[in-house]
Amino acid sequence: MDLRLIDNNGLQRWLTAILESGGRLFMPLTSDGLTFYREVQAKEDIHFDAFEQHRGKPYYSLKELLFPISEPVLRYQQSNGEFVIEDLAQDRNQPDDSPASSTHDIIVFGATPCDAAAVQVFDHVFLTGVVDPFYAARRSKMVIIGMSCTQAQPECFCTAVGLSPMSSKGCDLLCTPLDVQPDDETLVTQHSTQNPEAKADILVEIFTSTGKNLLENVQGNWREPSTRDEVQHLLMMKSLLNNRVQQTMVKKTALSNATVLLQRDFESPVWEDIGKKCLGCGVCAYVCPTCHCFDLADEYDVCSGCRYKNWDSCCFAHFTLHASGHNPRPTQLERYRQRVMHKFCYFLEEAGINMCVGCGRCTKFCPVGIDIYEVRARWQ
Amino acid sequence: MAMKNPYYPYLMEVREIYDETTDVRTLRLAFKENGSSSEFSWRAGQFGQFLVFGAGECPFTIANSPTRKEAIECSFKLMGKVTVH
């Protein structure tokens, strides 16, 4: 295991150095009370306290950077009765605000472990079989630096879907603030005997060569653990801290694989009860780190237009509406059931990946309080 | 080598029109771009996603044999926004 240590100021200075070296840095930034993963425009924006307990999650997940809400895929023009199509996947002159246009790496700092883990769902959808060149261009440039959660939010249930507040899945690097509280007796004793000065250390684990290259290419005030004992001690500290955070989680019971049960109960009256509540607003899909359905739509005038790929949701009434007026999913019962079945049954069977990372955003933002964890926990 | 854009459509030209009934019309469509007809293949029963720029797109089953690749034949029933074009 390749480890480094750095303090909060050192980490901020390193991120500033990335920015100054021309890298495009994205991190959770708050404006008007809402936090999103946004591009850092000036080094003054790199201001955070890794030891802050109440960070919470960005409003939208990391998917926004790989799969924008709306993205042009081609343009067309008609002149003298002939159509000319401009293929935007081949176009190198995309607008500057598009990450695909940049030759620099897209460095994401501070990804929550759930958001980082969700990227593997997108990799499966957009890079397996038919490859989406827009996604591939962004993904190949992206370096993901995760930040372990030191406190669980009420909506969190990552451990129930096989992840953890300090999971490294999908991360190139993972930062864990070694946040030792005075009341953590075991940790305080362990820590002070090993390295009394290291109380404000952030542990950085290196998981990929991409992450390692970034560490080596941009100078920082890194400290490498000197002995095997120190490495073991640091990993044990992380494990103890991980346990401490997990103990504060409310939704603990693991959601075991229930594909067979879900299929058996496809016609269960339970779906009717849930379907009556669902308004079909689609917020669950928008805030979800793994939902990836999209629609192609044209914006056009008389002789030219642009075709966009836009986020969509299976909970929208129009999602499956046919031109004839027939809708194979006529009510919210069928639509919400599809959402749950896709996440916990179909995708799991097809890709072997859980299509829920337990971030709980859908529960937090649902206007009628539908809790996907409670819905899914009915089948165990 | 640039990556292929899966959202990039094949441009087709309407070669022949048959009115099957008052609201079902069959079109015989030929590929406009050279080489497209040998690149494009399908199996009996498969559908194509047909788009009209500005109107939208919708799926219809290809009606001619996959061994006759020089054109695509498809019958469209007048329904919704795309087929009125």
Per-residue pLDDT reduced to its tens digit, A307-348: 999 999 999 999 999 988 999 999 999 999 999 999 999 999
Q: Do B5 and A323 touch (CB under 8 A)?
A: no
Total residues found in chain B within this entry? 85
Q: Which residues of B touch A73 (CB under 8 A)?
A: 5, 7-8
Kindly identify which residue of chain B lies nearest to residue A325, measuring between CA atoms.
B80
d(CA A344, CA A332): 18
Element (H, E) at B12: strand B12-19
- What one-character DSSP code corresponds to residue A335? H
Q: Are A339 and A292 in contact (CB under 8 A)?
A: no
Q: Do B6 and A132 touch (CB under 8 A)?
A: yes
Q: Do A307 and B7 touch (CB under 8 A)?
A: yes
d(CA B32, CA B85): 19
Average per-residue pLDDT for chain A: 90
Task: Tell me which range, A183-187, A218-222, A264-268, B53-57, is most confidently predicted by mean pLDDT.
Answer: A264-268
Question: Angle at CA B73, nearest 5°, toward B69 and B76?
Answer: 155
Element (H, E) at A270: helix A270-277
**Is the pLDDT score of A181 beyond 80?**
no
Among B6, B55, B79, the residue with its CB nearest the CB of A130 is B6
d(CA A271, CA A269): 5
Q: Do B53 and A76 touch (CB under 8 A)?
A: yes
Comparing C-alpha atoms, which of A148, A158, A101, A149 is closest to residue A290?
A: A158
Comparing C-alpha atoms, which of A125, A60, A78 is closest to residue A361?
A: A60
Comparing C-alpha atoms, which of A183, A147, A193 is closest to residue A168?
A: A147
- Phi, psi for B36 (deg, rounded to 5): -65, -35
- For the segment A34-54, the average pLDDT, to the nearest whole number, is 88
d(CA A350, CA A46): 41
- For the segment B1-21, the average pLDDT, to the nearest whole number, is 88
Q: Which residues of A touch B83 (CB under 8 A)?
A: 323
Question: Angle at CA A121, nearest 5°, toward A116 and A125?
Answer: 140
Q: Do B6 and A131 touch (CB under 8 A)?
A: yes
Among B4, B8, B11, the residue with its CB nearest the CB of A83 is B11
d(CA A319, CA A96): 32
- Phi, psi for A155 (deg, rounded to 5): -85, -10
Task: Give one word for A73, left, alpha or beta, with left for phi > 0 and alpha for psi -120 to 50.
Answer: alpha
pLDDT value of residue A184: 62
d(CA B30, CA B23): 22
Q: Which residues of B touch A137 (CB under 8 A)?
A: 3
pLDDT value of residue B38: 83
Q: Do A85 and B8 touch (CB under 8 A)?
A: yes
Q: In Å, how far is B6's CA from the nearest CA of chain A?
A: 7
For the stretch A106-145, pLDDT in tens is 999 999 999 999 999 999 999 999 999 999 999 999 999 9
Amino acid A375 reads V
Among A87, A130, A298, the residue with its CB nearest the CB of B53 is A298
Q: Do B5 and A78 touch (CB under 8 A)?
A: no
**Is the pLDDT score of A30 beyond 70?**
yes
Least confident piece of the model among A182-186, A200-204, B39-43: A182-186
For the stretch B21-79, pLDDT in tens is 999 999 999 999 877 888 889 999 999 999 998 888 889 999 999 998 889 999 999 98
Q: Which residues of A touch B5 (CB under 8 A)?
A: 73-74, 87-90, 133
Q: From the candidates B31, B53, B76, B78, which should be mutated to test the interface with A, based on the most A CB atoms within 10 A? A: B53
Terminal alpha carbon distance of chain A: 36
Q: How confident is the model at residue A96 (pLDDT cuts 50, 70, 90)?
A: very low
Q: Are A100 and A134 in contact (CB under 8 A)?
A: yes
Kindly identify which residue of chain A lies nearest to residue B4, measuring between CA atoms.
A133
Scanning B45-64 for CB atoms below 8 A from A yields 53-58
Q: In Å, how far is A311's CA from the nearest CA of chain B?
A: 15
Question: Angle at CA A57, nearest 5°, toward A34 and A337?
Answer: 105
Q: Do A298 and B56 touch (CB under 8 A)?
A: yes
